[in-house]
């Protein structure tokens, strides 16, 4: 069995895999990482683990984790199943590395655009030859709501909400339209840009806002909330075979 640990900006996801099957997914606060991982290791016979961290994990906690089980700490130096053509590989987020790894494993020989709708919205493109070219980074939905509230004196802080009409008839509905309608048009627009250059494009939508956005997009997509975890599992298996 393998343990996959995805450390986000606010929460940690820990997934137990047996072969290619997900046995259990646990979500918890970053402060409880050591105690929660110990519980999982005690419950299952874990052979090896991998950790991806977009937020800071102290060296002390990382050393503690490595005392609990053999663990791969994902970085730009980790072996991955694709060719990285990013000009600044050291700055490429580990979550994006995981997403591309999942894409080449699940959609081999397909031009694939992965959209991760979370704190930020990231776009990552890998060719059918397995070459990662890069993509884009944009503010996420919650970040946009917070920006309107933070950088103005009177606009309220709202939660994301599906819009009934793109023409807002109040301050609240205007904010919802500006953000939600704007994000959906941004995503559809970017997808169409890629389709103009790559006719046989596969599009994957993942991240915390997957379910909220999937039904509102005009483009045909594969919606899968746990694509990062699947990519980390792919990287761990890839490295285990190449040890």
94 known member of a binding site:
yes
Annotated ligand binding at 95? The verdict is yes
Structure tokens at 67: 């005392």
Pairing of strands 131-139, 120-126: antiparallel
List beta partners, residue 16. Answer: 3, 24
d(Cα 228, Cα 234) in Å, to the nearest integer? 10
The reply to whether 9 sits in an annotated binding site is yes
7 is an annotated ligand-binding site residue = yes
Residue 189 is labelled as binding a ligand: no
User: Is 5 within 8 Å of 28 (Cβ atoms)?
Assistant: no
SS3 category, 213 = helix
Is 171 one of the annotated binding-site residues? yes
**119 labelled binding-site residue:** yes
Whether 55 and 7 have beta carbons less than 8 Å apart is answered as yes
93 annotated to bind ligand: yes
Bridge partners of 13, per DSSP, are: 6, 27
Ligand-binding site membership of 13 (annotated): yes
Q: Is 10 annotated as a binding residue?
A: yes
Whether residue 144 is annotated as binding a ligand: the answer is no
Which residues participate in catalysis according to the annotation? 95
Residue 96 is labelled as binding a ligand? yes
CA distance 243 to 238: 9
Between helices 182-197 and 141-150, what is the axis angle to 10°?
130
Helices (H), 31-114: 33-43, 59-68, 94-106
Query: CA-CA distance, 156 to 30, in Å (whole number)?
Result: 29
Residue 219 burial by CB count (10 A; 0-12/13-18/19+): exposed, middle or buried?
middle
Binding residues: 6-13, 86, 93-96, 116, 119, 171
Binding residues for substrate: 86, 93-96, 171
Binding residues for K(+): 116
């Amino acid at each position: 069995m393998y343990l996959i640990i995805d450390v986000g900006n606010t929460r940690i996801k820990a997934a137990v895999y047996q072969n290619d099957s997900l046995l259990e997914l646990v979500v918890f606060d970053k402060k409880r990482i050591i105690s929660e991982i110990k519980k999982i290791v005690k419950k299952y016979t874990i052979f090896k683990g991998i950790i991806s961290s977009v937020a800071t994990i102290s060296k002390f906690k990382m050393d503690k984790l490595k005392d609990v089980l053999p663990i791969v700490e994902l970085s730009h130096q980790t072996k991955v199943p694709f060719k990285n053509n990013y000009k600044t590989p050291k700055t490429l987020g580990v979550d994006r590395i995981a997403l591309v790894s999942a894409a080449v494993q699940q959609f081999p020989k397909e031009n694939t655009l992965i959209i991760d709708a979370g704190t930020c919205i990231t776009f990552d493109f890998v060719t059918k030859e397995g070459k990662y070219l890069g993509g884009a980074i944009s503010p996420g939905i919650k970040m946009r709501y917070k920006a309107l509230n933070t950088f103005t004196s009177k606009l309220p802080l709202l939660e994301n909400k599906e819009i009934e009409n793109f023409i807002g008839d109040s301050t609240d509905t205007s904010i919802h339209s500006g953000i939600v309608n704007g994000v959906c048009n941004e995503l559809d627009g970017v997808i169409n840009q890629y389709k103009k250059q790559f006719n046989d494009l596969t599009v994957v939508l993942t991240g915390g806002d997957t379910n909220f956005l999937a039904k509102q997009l005009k483009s045909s997509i594969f919606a899968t909330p746990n694509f990062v975890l699947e990519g980390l599992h792919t990287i761990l298996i890839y490295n285990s075979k190449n040890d």
